[in-house]
């Protein structure tokens, strides 16, 4: 009796290719959630047994679409929060005391960690790596320092470096 139907053993396939849904990022193939066409043997012998992909059924495709929509909504929410956070930071100014000589030169320097600690103590969650300094601040004065909350959300904060009050 002649065999008919799908010889590859993978649903949704043809003789030359099969559609799979990637469960993880696969180099030179695609990102997690992508639907790609591959050779049936590659799917059957590598992707499916390794758990890197699953058969791209209608149900799985719908689930991926729903998941992407939820992720986009979540990303929009996070971006909105980051913008609000950046706006609040821009309205605040940091005052840091430092020991300095008569000419206004600091005996030490003000670095991103100092600015970050001052912002955190004021209630703003800013990590030192978010502070963009061109170099340490070594003189008394007012500086405008860039803060990168996220790669697409940037703001500035005023930093006042003042002499330490005499005791």
**19, containing H or E segment:** strand 18-22
73 domain-assigned: yes
12 domain-assigned: no
Q: Is the pTM of this model over 0.75?
A: no
37 domain-assigned: yes
Q: How many CB atoms lie within 10 A of CB 125?
A: 11
The total of structural domains in the chain comes to 2
Q: What digits encode the pLDDT tens for the residues 72-108?
A: 999 999 999 999 999 999 999 999 999 999 998 999 8
| 148 and 98 inside one domain | yes
44 domain-assigned: yes
Domain that holds residue 110: 83-163
| 94 and 53 inside one domain | no
Nearest to 112 by CA among 137, 87, 78, 79: 137
Q: What digits encode the pLDDT tens for the residues 107-134?
A: 989 999 999 999 999 999 999 999 999 8
121 domain-assigned: yes
| 57 and 123 inside one domain | no
Instruction: Scan for tokens 């990637």, then name that residue.
Output: 22
2 domain-assigned: no
């Amino acid at each position: 009796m002649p065999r008919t139907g799908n010889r590859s053993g993978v649903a949704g396939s043809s003789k030359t290719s099969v559609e799979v849904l990637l469960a993880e990022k696969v180099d030179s193939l695609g990102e997690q959630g992508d639907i790609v066409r591959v050779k049936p043997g590659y799917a059957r012998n590598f992707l499916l047994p390794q758990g890197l992909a699953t058969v791209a059924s209608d149900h799985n495709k719908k689930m991926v679409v729903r998941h992407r929509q939820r992720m986009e909504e979540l990303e929009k929410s996070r971006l909105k929060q980051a913008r609000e956070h950046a706006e609040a930071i821009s309205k605040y100014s940091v005052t840091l005391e430092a020991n300095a000589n008569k000419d206004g030169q600091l005996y030490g320097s003000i670095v991103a960690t100092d600015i970050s600690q001052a912002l955190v103590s004021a209630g703003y969650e800013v990590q030192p790596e978010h502070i963009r300094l061109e170099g340490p601040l070594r003189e008394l004065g007012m500086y405008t320092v860039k803060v990168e909350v996220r790669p697409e959300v940037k703001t500035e904060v005023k930093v006042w470096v003042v002499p330490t009050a005499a005791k």
